[in-house]
């Protein structure tokens, strides 16, 4: 494993991270695609999370030297905490998670993410997560908010900044991550506060809008850059079939190598449903140079109509056009 050490963190973070999602037979994530409202309700734990299949994936990740783990819903948080207690990793790990029912658009009663701006409510939620998991603190508390939060309250980011300072001083969190699905300007405004230690961003060869301004600004402030959806939630493999490339391992390696070559990226968080998938992802670091086959496969996929349409739509969305 290769590690990065962004200035603000002062600690080594693996270049490959493991996402917390577990998957249904059709490849969709569990919880969210079973009962979204219940899955994002605090205290709801779906049965079966953290079972033998997930344990095998987590073991493979730890054996590969991965030390960054992401968990979203309570079912994932609980499973990760249980599994890591069952087979402790060989060294320190860094876990990113979110306040349940406060992020993005997952709470109809809080469409503008105002709950995270209330320090008392956020503090209680962090304490609830710590009680659920047994963690001494949250390594990276992810603040996932939409642009509407800033429109509803012009002082929103100032309030989040104060909350981050308070939670850190109280020893409840170590770092804070800015996260949004509202595009470039919202990221830039969050970065400009100086309150966040990292960003979490959707990034890949078919979704590269963050390269222009967001990543350079984050790195200039010593922030970590964590990325998601390197395989475009599985769309990569459909584009590959359209381009006449059925070899999923080849496509995955090419997509990972493209992203790992972006110098600003700290960690690529990968979703994996089998040990093979996370092992192959980690092996990419053994030789990150493109082979002719990988280079050719990526070129063909990028020329596929569905991929070109996706790239155009994501760029326009990210830039607010």
- Give alpha helix (H) positions in 64-198: 74-86, 119-133, 147-152, 156-169, 184-192
Angle at 126 between CA 125 and CA 132, to 5 degrees: 90
Range of the domain at 270: 3-318
The pLDDT value recorded for residue 27 is 83
Question: Residue 237 is part of a domain; what is its CATH number?
Answer: 3.20.20.100
Structure confidence at residue 112 (pLDDT): 94
Q: Say which residues have a Cβ less than 8 Å from residue 262's Cβ, sequence separation at least 6.
A: 203, 211, 215
When divided into structural domains, the chain yields a total of 1
Residue 107 is predicted with a pLDDT of 87
pLDDT in tens, 255-277: 999 999 999 999 999 999 999 99
Beta strands in the chain (DSSP E): 3-4, 13-14, 16-18, 68-70, 94-97, 138-144, 173-179, 198-202, 224-228, 267-270
User: Cβ distance 76 to 54 under 8 Å?
Assistant: no
Which tens digits make up the pLDDT trace of 113-160? 999 999 999 999 999 999 999 999 999 999 999 999 999 999 999 999
What angle (nearest 5°) sits at the alpha carbon of residue 129, between those of residues 282 and 146? 75
What is the phi/psi pair of residue 201, to 5°? -145, 145
d(CA 139, CA 88): 17
- The tens digit of pLDDT for each residue in 189-241 reads 999 999 999 999 999 999 999 999 999 999 999 999 999 999 999 999 999 99
Contact (CB, 8 A) for 36 and 46:
no
Q: How far is Cα 90 from Cα 84, in angstroms, rounded to an integer?
A: 11
Q: What gap in Å lies between CA 126 and CA 228, rounded to an integer?
A: 23
Distance between CA 256 and CA 268 in Å, rounded? 8
Please, are residues 235 and 260 in contact by the beta-carbon 8 Å criterion? no
Tell me how long the chain is: 321
Q: Tell me: the pLDDT tens digits for 41-77? A: 999 999 999 999 999 999 999 999 999 999 999 999 9
pLDDT of residue 106: 84
């Amino acid at each position: 494993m290769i590690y990065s050490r962004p200035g603000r963190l002062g600690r080594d973070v693996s270049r490959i991270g493991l996402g917390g999602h577990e998957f249904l037979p059709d490849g969709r994530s569990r919880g969210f695609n079973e009962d979204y409202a219940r899955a994002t309700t605090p205290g709801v734990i779906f049965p079966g999370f953290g079972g033998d299949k997930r344990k095998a994936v987590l073991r493979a990740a730890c054996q590969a030297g991965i030390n960054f783990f992401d968990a979203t819903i309570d079912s994932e948080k609980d499973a990760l905490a249980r599994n890591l207690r069952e087979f402790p990793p060989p060294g320190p790990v860094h876990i990113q998670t979110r306040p349940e029912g406060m992020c993005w658009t997952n709470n109809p009663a809080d469409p503008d993410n105002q709950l995270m701006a209330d320090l008392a409510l956020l503090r209680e939620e962090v304490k609830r997560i710590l009680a659920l998991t047994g963690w001494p603190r949250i390594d990276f508390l992810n603040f996932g908010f939409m642009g509407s939060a800033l429109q509803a309250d012009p002082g929103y980011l100032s309030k989040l900044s104060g909350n981050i300072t308070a939670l850190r001083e109280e020893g409840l969190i170590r770092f804070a991550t800015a996260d949004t699905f509202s595009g470039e300007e919202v990221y830039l405004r969050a970065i400009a506060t100086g309150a966040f230690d990292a960003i979490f961003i959707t990034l890949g060869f078919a979704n590269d809008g963050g390269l222009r301004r967001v990543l350079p600004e984050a790195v200039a402030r010593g922030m970590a850059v964590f990325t998601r959806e390197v395989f475009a939630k599985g769309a990569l493999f459909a584009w590959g079939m359209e381009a006449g490339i059925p070899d999923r391992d080849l496509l995955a390696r090419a997509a990972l190598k493209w992203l790992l070559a972006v110098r600003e990226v700290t960690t690529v968080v990968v979703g994996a449903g089998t040990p093979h998938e996370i092992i192959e992802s980690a092996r990419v670091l053994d030789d990150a140079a493109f082979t002719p086959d990988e280079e050719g496969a990526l070129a063909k996929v990028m020329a596929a109509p569905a991929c070109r349409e996706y790239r155009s739509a994501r760029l326009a969305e990210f830039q607010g056009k």
